[in-house]
Chains A and B, each alone.
Chain A
Amino acid sequence: MAYSFPEEVLEHVFWFLSSDKDRNAVSLVCKSWYEIERWCRRRVFIGNCYSVTPEIVIRRFPEVRELEMKGKPHFADFNLVPEGWGACVYPWVTAMSAAYPFLEEIKLKRMVVTDESLELISKSFRNFKVLVLSSCEGFTTDGLASIAANCRNLRELDLRESEVEDLSGHWLSHFPDNCTSLVSLNMSCLGSEVSFSALERLVSRSPNLRTLRLNRAVPLEKLPNLLRRAPQLVELGTGAYSAEIRSDIFSNLAEAFSVCKQLKGLSGFWDVVPAYLPAMYSVCSGITSLNLSYATIQSPDLVKLVSQCRNLQCLWVLDYIEDSGLEALAASCKDLQELRVFPSDPFGAEPNVSLTERGLVSVSEGCPKLQSVLYFCRQMSNAALIAIARNRPNMVRFRLCILEPRAPDYLTLEPLDTGFGAIVENCKELRRLSMSGLLTDRVFKYIGTHAKKLEMLSIAFAGDSDLGLHHVLSGCESLRKLEIRDCPFGDKALLANAAKLETMRSLWMSSCSVSFGACKLLGQKMPRLNVEVIDERGPPDSRPESCPVERLYVYRTVAGRRVDMPGFVWTMDEDSTLSASESGNKPNVWGLRALMPSILHLAELIVAINILMNKEAKLLFSLFHV
């Protein structure tokens, strides 16, 4: 071990390490390994853009070729993060344009990307190949035009679910005639019609095109023209799947599909006219991924289609499929791994389809490989959840959304604690869980006890007291992301488990009962956390300290406090002074720690430092808890 290999040898070995975890471990072995590794790291993943600065990244990793980064918290997807919150990529792009001239890939999620950023990207990186903008916003089709025009070797342009200001479809025509490198194009989120002939020509000259996701404006009758020019397609997203009912259109479409022997994934399907679905049947046996979540067709048509896809691994569908359709799915698609059922009428007061817990239970029974579920429904029972848990101990991601908040077990009217408890107890590999329905502190006890591999937990309208939050923070060893809304969790559990927060990527709490005072305390106590209060009512110190904050976002960082906060975000600094409370005593957690020895049994003191922190946290908590 003491012998040193030549650096080149080590570098060559490290080259085979692709996982960030492995590379991070390697860089901790010794200084020389740290140095060697950092010079040969090509891919950097930043889960929270505010956890680090571009300068720090560039300083440590000078030769990065691929950057993947996430910005806004997940709940931004549901309008819980106000407009203008942040996560702008521009400062990153400017820094990288100077430092990484050979950058090839940028993949962003939930970030604000401006046309200026896109233009700068297109002009700064000569060998730029891959741009993936997932759930991003802030740019227009003009920005896309710069990318198309200037990135000579562009391989991937994927705009999945981004909000783009659609000025015109003209951007597509900016791809130069000598651009033949395209492998993947996803423009499904765009509204405007692009020039079809430009699209045809682009597809024709892209022999490596594997993924083509069209937007709704591309008419069905013209789809065959594209398919014929790209028979090597592996993933296709159709445009609007509707046309006049004409046999010539049908046969043209059917013939074009039959040529695409490599197709594995299908999506799109807006405005489906069921009569045209059979045109696809020739490819169904090869399909492994099917996204019908925009297809407003009824169960019988869905079943006919899905039962043709015997090799299906991933299905996204609307609740029009109903219990009967899911039963049919369970019978035909034995390789199914992922199922997502979305609500067709999420705000309707009454059920519009016959989709209940029974559908999910059938799939859990019939599909032995099912490991990832997202299911919206209107009723659930503990019995069903227990059945699902017993059927599928291999579950990895389980997200259940019962549309009515706090809905109890519809059979017994009890909370759904035992049901979700069964899920976490049986599914030992569970990494992600979202819960809904009526839930008490008990379910959190089960989660804290059993969910040892859980990395992400989403909670809404659940729990009775701080004990619930405490169970989660103290029990879930692998927890990285915790997002909570509308739960009666307050200061105690948060403060008692402050150290835990440094082991996680982030914590989001909105419409809970965390006071401004506690936020300040947390910010003071934990310098390596950014404790940010989002409150649209004005500065938090214009209200009493005991007043709960609207939203709290806590995340670990080496970047220090944000410098780009909008007017409704306040950060709790280390040096912010606590205003005196009414009693004149400053609630000071550190002071209480000093008191601990005289209170605790002496034996409990003889422990390692980090264990001491947690233990004392539990004791602190028990002091506060009545």
Chain B
Amino acid sequence: MSTLSREVKNCVVVMSSEESSSYPDDDSELELGLGLSLGGGKAKAAPPPAGGGGVGCDHQVVGWPPVRTYRMNSLANQAKSPVTEDFFSTFDECKSKNVALDKNNYAGNRTNNTTNEKGFQKKSLFVKVNMDGIPIGRKVDLNAHTCYKSLARALDDMFRTNVAVGARRSNVEEQIVVAATRQPGRLLDGSSEFVLTYEDKDGDWMLVGDVPWEMFLSSVRRLRIMKKAEANGLAPKIS
């Protein structure tokens, strides 16, 4: 148990970075939600120690809201994007369940999402992200981004911090990133020594950025920030 400042101790990333809370870019999408929501804004009058967290910092109150880890993990592993036709049971299983759905018959989810009048529905698509050299992985919500640029920037922020807090459990989804001082420099713009790759539903590792964003969303299973040298000399293609 290392001694740490109390403030840092109280900030624990329980599940993953809550990317949805810290993008200026995504405000326009959030506006929709706010407009149709039911006065949720008023509740923010009280100074929130918990909630979405600050920009660029994954602060959350430990153990709040009081949802059991077991339940959080089960929900997280059920990432289901409304955009995709395929879906995954869990990201931990090695087998991928490649189920092709008949577009016409798959009335349920798609209909609900397109005819939903209740307002903007943001469903999460959490995928694991591992970075070479860091033993503990993170998770990022891909549906919180609309383009490669914002994803790259978020990952850059996520893995560049030097916060070291003791892990409470061995479960990867709960652990906090323990990182040695990283070399500053933006990830994925070619200047970094790392490239961003992803494993697709066929189990192949691809460079991120080659296909349209929507197509990427429908086939990505997990991400890996790989050392350039290991990426077979392929140049990153993030524009």
Contacts and interface: CB of A to CB of B under 8 A. Distances in A.
Contacts of B15: 347
Interface in A297-327: 297-298, 300-301, 322
A210 to B, nearest CB: 24
Contacts of B44: 404
B100 A378 contact: no
B46 A77 contact: no
Interface in B65-124: 65-72, 74-75, 78, 80, 87, 89-90, 92-93, 99-102, 105-109, 112-113, 116, 118-119, 121-124
Nearest to B109: A274
A352 B122 contact: yes
A506 interface: no
B70 A163 contact: yes
B21 interface: yes
A590 interface: no
B89 A274 contact: no
Interface in B14-31: 14-15, 18, 20-21, 30
Contacts of A244: 99-102
B14 A79 contact: yes
Interface stretch (A48-56, A90-98, A383-391, A407-415): A407-415
Contacts of B63: 75, 78-80, 485
A77 B66 contact: yes
Nearest to A277: B108
Contacts, number: 199
A368 interface: no
Given A245-B105, A345-B124, A79 B168 contact: yes
A298 B109 contact: yes
A410 B89 contact: no
Contacts of A407: 43, 46
A79 B168 CA distance: 7
A582 B159 CA distance: 47
A128 B135 CA distance: 42
A536 interface: yes
Contacts of A216: 89-90
B201 to A, nearest CB: 15
A175 interface: no
B104 to A, nearest CB: 9
Interface residues of A, number: 72
B37 interface: yes
Nearest to B20: A348
B48 interface: yes
A461 B63 CA distance: 12
A404 B39 CA distance: 13
Contact of B1 (A79, A434, A538): A538
B71 A293 contact: yes
B33 interface: yes
Interface string B23-62: 0000000100110011110111111111110000000111
Given A350-B30, A350-B34, 13 more contacts: A271-B78, A271-B80, A293-B71, A343-B67, A347-B14, A348-B20, A349-B20, A350-B37, A354-B118, A402-B43, A410-B40, A537-B3, A568-B1
Interface pairs A-B: 6 shortest CB-CB: A274-B108, A78-B63, A349-B52, A406-B46, A298-B112, A407-B43
18 contacts: A79-B169, A80-B63, A189-B70, A244-B101, A245-B105, A245-B106, A293-B71, A346-B67, A351-B33, A376-B67, A402-B43, A403-B51, A405-B46, A406-B46, A407-B46, A410-B43, A460-B66, A567-B1
Interface of A: 75, 77-80, 82-83, 135, 161, 163, 189, 191, 216-217, 240, 242-245, 270-271, 273-275, 293-294, 296-298, 300-301, 322, 342-354, 356, 376, 378-379, 401-408, 410-411, 413, 434, 438, 460-461, 485-486, 511, 536-538, 567-568
Interface of B: 1, 3, 6, 9-10, 12, 14-15, 18, 20-21, 30, 33-34, 37-40, 42-52, 60-72, 74-75, 78, 80, 87, 89-90, 92-93, 99-102, 105-109, 112-113, 116, 118-119, 121-124, 166, 168-169, 171, 174
